[in-house]
Amino acid sequence: MATYGRTTRQGLPRVAGGDPWPPVVEIAGGEPAPTAVVEASAPAVAADAAADVAVAPVATVAAPAAAPVAAASAARSVRRGLPRVPGGEPWPPATAAPVAAVADVVTAPSTPAPDPAAPADRAEPQSVVAGAAAAVSVAGGGRALRRGLPRTPDGEPWPPAGSAPARPERVAAIPAVAAPEPTPEPTPEPVLEPVAVPVAAAAPAPRRTPMQPPRRPVAVAAASARPAAEPWPKLYGPYSRAEWAGALVIGGFGLLLAATGVVVVVNWLLGLAPMEDFIARYPGEYHLPESAPIGIPAWIGWQHFFNVFLIVLIMRSGLQVRTQKRPTAFWSPRWNPQRKISLSLWFHQSLDILWLVNGAVFVVLLFATGQWMRIVPTSWEVFPNAVSALLQYLSLDWPTENGWVNYNSLQQIAYFLTVFIAAPLAAITGVRMSGLWPKNAKTLNRIYPVEWARAVHFPVMLYFVAFIIVHVGLVFATGALRNLNHMYASQDVVNWTGFWIFVASLVVIAVVWVAARPLVLAPIARLFGKVSGR
């Protein structure tokens, strides 16, 4: 067998008890090497995969080949290294010489010899495909193989000294001549092992440039582009403007239906005989004490204007404080620079103080002039008369209006609740949440927690909103010009004086509403403390 590559590496034997495979041609001292004997089971391959090597299947060879091998070598010194065993000679031995090339391989046909140890029916060859012995002729100028560890314990280093690699381009396999079959028994056809034929290294493939997608026309690209998502609508509280509008429309329609149903039911109820007697006995008002004053003085009209002015701005600033997330300016009192509150809270608390002062003046004048009897109930008849007045309002058959002399019982109760119940609650809860409340008063804080104040303060504000809406609505529904003259002009006539005073008061309130911004409030707040951006 011819070897190829730079070295010959042997593996396990092909048959049990045989020599390692493949055999190696040994060259020693430039002498012709003995003929190699190749043994293989049918089918066998003459050589493994090698570049440009023709391979032919061979049959079992029982006798060594008779063809001699001629070899010529041009030896050169081999670089020697450390000994393989302690105390030994340097490795490889001095007799090892490199082999330059393998010259020609000549194969000669031979007749296989019978194996005396085999049975009679197996003594003859099993395959008649091919059989040959290969002899290797080594040309000069080669070099020896590098030897490694021994194949067996205490054996010689492997491969043996003088072994040389064969050059595969100089090897040619000649098919052997098949021997005649001694017996007519059929033999199984040999199965040829696949031979890996090396392929020359292909040139590297040219680098492919990725294909660019075809450019689409601008019109097509614009048509296929995904439309940009619409921005979320701005929220005003929990809903957007459109949702608020829808809620108002639907809610207003529902209230209209409900009001219509209430009016129908109340008119049916008042048509009953017992209810007619009730309305006749309790017309909606009772007689005031004889000492009660008649008419509305001018100071009540001015107090009414200041009260409306302050209460509207208090509700506006209170809602701003409740919904404001990040204040734009802060205010600190001069006596305590470490304490800071938002400018909106300062404006709200300042309005509260003015409202309390105006309320205190109103209550003092109310009891000093006897006007308190107009809004404070003085008889238990106030409750049935209040029910009667309510039923008349719901039936749209208004009770007799005579506010210049006496309010009806429903108005009297509403004014009493507003002045003597709702206003003090708003003041007490506001003071508890303001900076005027002592922080270190543990006993007071335990008796009156701030959570209670917050839970009451906001519903009180809602009451004031509802009172103003109903009050203004009834003023315009039960004789606007006369009622406005009572409240603003202090006269019991029907003309436009009170109306224009009312319009002027609304203009003043609107101007202050718009002007209540940090740019305007900051200079005023600096008169009482320090204003900073943070």
> Tens digits of per-residue pLDDT, 26-40?
444 444 444 333 333
Record the tokens describing residue 378, joined without a space. 């003085």
Q: What is the pLDDT of residue 340?
A: 85
pLDDT category at 326 given cuts 50, 70, 90 is confident
Q: Among residues 306, 276, 291, 470, which one has the least CA distance to residue 370?
A: 291
- Quote the pTM value: 0.54
Summarize the confidence of residues 325-352 as an average pLDDT. 86
- What is the four-CA torsion angle of 422, 427, 433, 439, rounded to 10 degrees? -140
Please list, in sequence order, all residues whose beta carbon lies within 8 angstroms of the beta carbon of residue 14, skipping any fewer than 6 positions away. Answer: 21, 39, 40, 41, 44
Phi, psi dihedral angles at 522 (to 5 degrees): -60, -45
Distance CA 317, CA 314 (A): 5
Residue 507: strand pairing partners: none
Q: Which residue did the predictor score with more confidence, 102 or 26?
A: 26
Distance CA 82, CA 89 (A): 8
Please list, in sequence order, all residues whose beta carbon lies within 8 angstroms of the beta carbon of residue 463, skipping any fewer than 6 positions away. Answer: 422
Distance CA 256, CA 258 (A): 5
Q: Is the pLDDT of residue 170 over 70?
A: no
Q: Which residue did the predictor score with more confidence, 395 or 122?
A: 395
Q: b or e along 390-429 (b: 16 or more beta carbons within 10 Å of the residue's beta carbon)?
A: bbbbbbeeebebebbebbbbbbbbbbbebbeebbeebbeb
Chain mean pLDDT for the chain: 74
Q: How do residues 220-269 score in pLDDT, each as one tens digit?
A: 555 555 666 667 778 877 788 888 889 889 999 999 999 999 999 999 99
Q: Is the pLDDT of residue 97 over 90?
A: no
| Strand, coil or helix: 370 | coil
CATH number of the 271-532 domain: 1.20.950.20
Q: Is the pLDDT of residue 445 over 80?
A: yes
Q: Is the pLDDT of residue 351 over 60?
A: yes
CA Rg value for the chain? 61
Q: What is the pLDDT of residue 219?
A: 52
Summarize the confidence of residues 191-196 as an average pLDDT. 48
Q: Is the pLDDT of residue 501 over 90?
A: yes
Number of CB atoms found within 10 A of residue 384's CB: 15
Q: Which residue did the predictor score with more confidence, 50 or 364?
A: 364
Q: What is the pLDDT of residue 262?
A: 93
Q: Which residue has the tokens 């582009």?
A: 225
Please list, in sequence order, all residues whose beta carbon lies within 8 angstroms of the beta carbon of residue 180, skipping any fewer than 6 positions away. Answer: 128
Share of the chain above pLDDT 90, in %: 26
Distance CA 262, CA 265 (A): 5
Share of the chain above pLDDT 70, in %: 66
pLDDT category at 532 given cuts 50, 70, 90 is confident
Distance CA 337, CA 530 (A): 8
Summarize the confidence of residues 500-524 as an average pLDDT. 91
Q: Among residues 510, 518, 511, 465, which one has the least CA distance to residue 346?
A: 518
Q: Is the pLDDT of residue 6 over 70?
A: no
Q: What angle do CA 419, 259, 256 make, to 5 degrees?
A: 110
Range in 218-222, 299-303, 420-424 the model is least confident about: 218-222
pLDDT category at 422 given cuts 50, 70, 90 is very high
Q: Is the pLDDT of residue 496 over 60?
A: yes
- Residue ranges per domain, the chain? 1-113+125-180, 271-532
Distance CA 422, CA 148 (A): 111
Distance CA 468, CA 487 (A): 14
CB 139 within 8 A of CB 105: no
CB 130 within 8 A of CB 78: no
Distance CA 140, CA 423 (A): 127
Q: Among residues 93, 180, 172, which one has the least CA distance to residue 136?
A: 172
Q: What is the pLDDT of residue 336?
A: 78
Summarize the confidence of residues 391-407 as an average pLDDT. 86
Distance CA 354, CA 306 (A): 9
What's the residue count for the chain? Answer: 534
Q: What is the pLDDT of residue 382?
A: 92
Summarize the confidence of residues 465-489 as an average pLDDT. 90
Q: Which residue did the predictor score with more confidence, 438 or 254?
A: 254
CB 314 within 8 A of CB 422: no
Q: What is the pLDDT of residue 424?
A: 92
Summarize the confidence of residues 149-158 as an average pLDDT. 84
Q: What is the pLDDT of residue 210?
A: 61
Q: What is the pLDDT of residue 376?
A: 93
Record the tokens describing residue 452, joined without a space. 């209670």
